[in-house]
Amino acid sequence: MTSASPAAAASVPEDHGLGRIGWKGHLLILLIVAASLYPFGALLVTSFLPPVNGAPGQLWRDLFSQIPITSYMLNSAIVSGGAMVLVATVSCMAGYSFAKLTFPGSVQVIAIVIAAISVPQATTIIPNYLNFASVGGVGAYWGPVLMYAASSIPFATVLMTSFFKSLPDELLESAVIDGASYAQIFLVIMVPLATPALATVGVLAFLTAWNDLLVGLLFLPDPAMRTISVGIATLQGVRDGSMNLILTGSLVSAIPPILAFIFFQKYLVSGIVSGMGK
Amino acid sequence: MSVSSGPSRQARSHSARNDVARHVNGVLFALPAILLVSLVTILPLGQAFYYSFTNWNGATASWVGLSNYANLFADPELSRSLLNSLLLFLSVPFGLILPFVTAYLLHKSVRNGKLYRAIIFAPTALSWVVIGIVSRQFFSGAGPLNSVLSLSGMGSIAPNWLADSTLSLGAVVFTFNAALFGLNTTIFLTGLATLDRSTIEAARIDGANEAQIIRYVILPAMRRFLQFVFIITVVTSFTGLFGMIYVMTGGGPGSATLTLDFAIWRRALSMGRFGSGVAIGIALMTLTLLAIVLIRFITGSRERDDA
């Protein structure tokens, strides 16, 4: 345990002074790992098993022939991609302002933005629905894009602000002395440095929008504009007997978030945990 | 203007001009965020608060005082959803035990640790809609759970889980806690990685056993992480389960699994009772904030100064 020999230290590089776990601990871990795989297993097995009186793969053929799944996915991509770009742009600009271009009153504005994190979407959804309906934002892609963006922007702005605060002020000052405008400094110096933080807020915003049901259900009532979550959730009411088809559709809907998790896991964990500072 | 004071005045006016330019740019760069938050969060919050005292139906609204709020307790459907939200809240401390134990074991174990961590985190990628659908299949009459029960000779007690009001609420509470297991374990792992190894070794050398080290060294050092996980889990239980409830139970049978955020949908958007709906929304926000204050109080915030 406290061996000073380098060889022993190298063989247990991640020993934290707590010792090792026994076989019971290992068994518990294995059970938990198996349970964590359950939803993926259930989705895969159900979608590839042949249905009653059907051939293997029948569910996949039905999914693409009977349900406009491609258009659902496309609609989700449009609103989630739109929200992602808007959140990254707006929160990056605001973070730059709050951290480096403080103006009289900016402290109060930040306090309001932080407070907005605690307003649940369910609390404002009814007035939002009627407000958007009165200006044509219901039944158009830009309505849900703004709704998703607004729900992600407060947290994203707090995250971007703390990121820009970690950059030295001299970066800005020396560029100002060299005659650069604040917009040039933003585009040429700040945005490239902020890429990791932008990836975090962008991916989180994309996932929030992609996985949403409530806003999609209300703001895109036209069946041709349905998002994938709404498409799957409402399939249930129409076809009560086709649970397996719904599970197959769920698997398709989960592919983009799963890919995002595989490629951006490190940004996601750091982004979520950074919420602790608030 | 004297020659000697020239440069300093010039410098001062130059820096004043810079300040103005900086302030103008600051406002312009913050403006899109300010506009979006004002129009899509603050304005509708004000409207929700005002209309919660009216019988608003989307077109007309007349003042009804506190009756929408009184209804939260008087209306059986709404008082049931309050009770359900409270039960979900009370389940959270128990739901956090297993993630903590798992994180602790994974922190100690090194073999396959990276793979295990990735697998445990993976279900976090699934939306509440997908989780609700998987769970609905799991608990359905001829689903995997009942198949296992009958295979192990307990077929006689295999019930229709989601059709029974008590069992369906149990299924919802279970699914909610299980779905957040991966995220919470991952956050605990992040916290354990920040532990100071020398403190633990000092405790061990002083003769502390493992249980004592967990109780007196690790848990106090993890306070901020415990608090954070507790808060985000409770906030999710109050405000984030709409998608899961929608596909899993629809709030039923009856109102057995109705939560406050689902009640807003049921009341307002399918019954047109917007005044009642926004009152539930305001109550939901108030309860969420109260829960956060309560959690901060219970878990203590002595460490906030060095946070």
Residue pLDDT, tens place only, A11-56: 344 455 566 677 888 899 999 999 999 999 999 998 888 777 777 7
- Decide if B242 and A147 are in contact by the 8 Å CB cutoff: no
The pLDDT value recorded for residue A277 is 53
Please give the backbone phi and psi of residue B54, each rounded to the nearest 5 degrees, phi first: -130, 170
- Is the pLDDT reported for residue A6 higher than 50? no
Residue closest to A186 by CA, chosen among B76, B29, B267: B29
The minimal CB distance from A146 to the residues B21, B36, B110 is found for B36
Structure letter (DSSP) for residue B54? B
A-B contacts (CB, under 8 Å): 280
Q: How far is A128 from chain B (nearest CA, A)?
A: 6
Query: Which residues on chain A are in Cβ contact (under 8 Å) with B238?
Result: 120
The pLDDT of residue B14 is: 58
Token look-up 């899109």 returns: B32
- pLDDT for the residue numbered B148: 87
Mean pLDDT of A203-221: 94
Q: What is the CATH superfamily name and number for domain A67-277?
A: MetI-like (1.10.3720.10)
Q: Give the position of tokens 């507790």.
A: B230
Q: What is the mean pLDDT of residues A59-82?
A: 92
Longest dimension (CA), chain B: 103
Check if the beta carbon of residue A251 is closer than 8 Å to that of residue A168. Answer: no
Q: Where are the alpha helices (DSSP H) in chain A?
A: 6-11, 23-48, 58-66, 69-100, 106-116, 121-134, 142-165, 170-177, 182-185, 191-193, 195-210, 214-219, 228-238, 243-273
- Predicted pLDDT of residue A262: 87
B253 prior amide bond cis, ω within 30 = yes
pLDDT at A175: 92
pLDDT in the model for residue A18: 64
The ipTM estimated for the assembled molecules is: 0.88
Q: What is the pLDDT of residue A238?
A: 54
Handedness of CA B302, B304, B305, B307 (dihedral sign): positive
Q: Measure in Å the smallest separation between the Cα of A2 and chain B Cα atoms.
A: 9
Mean pLDDT of A183-198: 93
Mean pLDDT within A100-118:
93
B52 interaction partners in chain A (CB closer than 8 Å)? none
CB-nearest to A153 from B37, B44, B282 is B37
pLDDT, one tens digit per residue, over A119-167 is: 999 999 999 999 999 999 999 999 999 999 999 999 999 999 999 999 9
pLDDT by position in tens, chain B (length 307): 444 444 455 555 556 667 888 999 999 999 999 999 999 999 999 999 999 999 998 888 889 989 999 999 999 999 999 999 999 999 999 999 999 999 999 988 767 788 999 999 999 999 999 999 999 999 988 788 988 888 887 777 778 888 888 999 999 999 999 999 999 999 999 999 888 888 888 888 888 888 888 888 899 889 889 999 999 999 999 988 999 999 999 888 988 999 999 999 988 877 788 999 999 999 999 999 999 999 988 887 554 444 3
Which region among A207-216, A239-248, B123-132, B159-168 has the lowest average model confidence (pLDDT)? A239-248
- Asked if A25's CB is within 8 angstroms of B108's CB, the reply is yes
Model pLDDT, residue B142: 79
Closest residue to A253, CB basis, from B130, B204, B264: B130
Interchain pair B40, A124: CB under 8 A: yes
Task: Point out the residue among B47, B126, B269 whose CB comes nearest to the CB of A254.
Answer: B126
Nearest-CA distance A197 → chain B (Å): 17
β-bridge partners, B63: B54
Q: In the Cβ-directed half-sphere of A94, how many Cα atoms lie within 13 Å?
A: 29
Residues of A in contact with B258 (CB under 8 A): none
d(CA B19, CA B144): 67
A122 → closest Cβ in B130, B178, B242: B242
Yes or no, beta carbons of A153 and B269 under 8 Å apart? no
Read off the pTM.
0.88
Closest alpha carbon to A113 in B155, B34, B217: B34
**Residues B77, B78, B82, B85: what is their CA dihedral angle, to the nearest 10 degrees?**
70
